[in-house]
């Protein structure tokens, strides 16, 4: 429905890089506030999301 209203195709699998940036910002804020455990976990999640984004980008360029 949204694709027909805007005239553009919807992208599949998007949002990984936005989520990675969100978790990176969360990690920095948590570190500044002194919550190193949450900062480390958020940074690990951001790293995983960036890796998934890169893998999907490479696959989409090959296909």
Domain spans in the chain, listed from the N-terminal domain onward = 14-62
Here the contacts of 12-20 (C-beta below 8 Å, separation 24 or greater) are: 13/56, 16/49, 16/50, 16/52, 16/53, 16/56, 17/49, 17/50, 17/53, 19/46, 19/49, 20/46, 20/47, 20/49, 20/50, 20/53
> 3-7, 23-27, 35-39, 54-58 — which is least confidently predicted?
3-7
Per-residue model confidence (pLDDT) at position 63 = 81
Decide if pLDDT at 58 tops 70: yes
Decide if pLDDT at 2 tops 80: no
What pTM was estimated for this model as a whole? 0.65
């Amino acid at each position: 429905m949204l694709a027909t209203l805007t005239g553009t195709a919807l992208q599949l699998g998007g949002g990984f890089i936005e989520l990675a940036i969100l978790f990176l910002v969360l990690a920095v804020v948590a570190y500044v506030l002194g919550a190193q455990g949450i900062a480390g976990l958020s940074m690990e999640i951001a790293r995983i999301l960036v890796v998934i984004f890169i893998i999907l980008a490479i696959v989409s360029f090959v296909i």
